[in-house]
Amino acid sequence: MRKEGVLQAEAEILVPFFDVDSMDVVWHGHYVKYFEVARCALLDHIGHNYTQMRDAGFAWPIIDIQLRYVRGARFNQRIVVRADLVEWENRLKINYLISDAETGERMTRGSSVQVAVEIASREMLLASPKVFVDAVERALK
């Protein structure tokens, strides 16, 4: 099991027909989209989502993503995607776990790493902006 984060958020997704291939299994690229849904829920929980990041003058591109497939999701299956915040002071690292909503069976796990980039200068920062760190600290209280 991956490291549990200091803050978590979950999103439940009903796998739509347009996400599956001819074998009735979710195409592998859609798991990144499912991670994004949970990541947005986590950022909302923190109180500093992508709109607030942009308004503060920062973009947060993904620089690394990792996925480990255990069992493929299928059409009309209810899945739960959990996002765990594990690093935030120098970069944003989130661990993910996708499980079957009914059985709790683990299906996919992964992680993403994002870094702050000042929009005006396009310079990558070596530490997370204070506005983001402050938001995480408020959410931890």
In the DSSP assignment, the letter for residue 74 is B
* pLDDT of residue 1 exceeding 70: no
The number of C-alpha atoms within 13 Å of 67 and in the hemisphere containing its C-beta is 17
Answer for the pair 17, 30: CB distance below 8 angstroms, yes or no: no
* 3 vs 94, residue with greater confidence: 94
The CATH homologous superfamily to which domain 7-140 belongs is Hotdog Thioesterase (3.10.129.10)
State the CB neighbour count (10 A cutoff) for residue 57: 14
pLDDT tens profile 112-140: 999 999 999 999 999 999 999 999 999 99
In terms of Cα–Cα distance, which of 105, 110, 107, 108 is closest to 94?
Answer: 110
> Assign residue 90 a region: left if phi > 0, alpha if psi is -120 to 50, beta otherwise?
alpha
Section 40-49 average pLDDT: 97
> How is the chain split into domains, by residue range?
7-140
Q: How many CB atoms lie within 10 A of CB 136?
A: 18
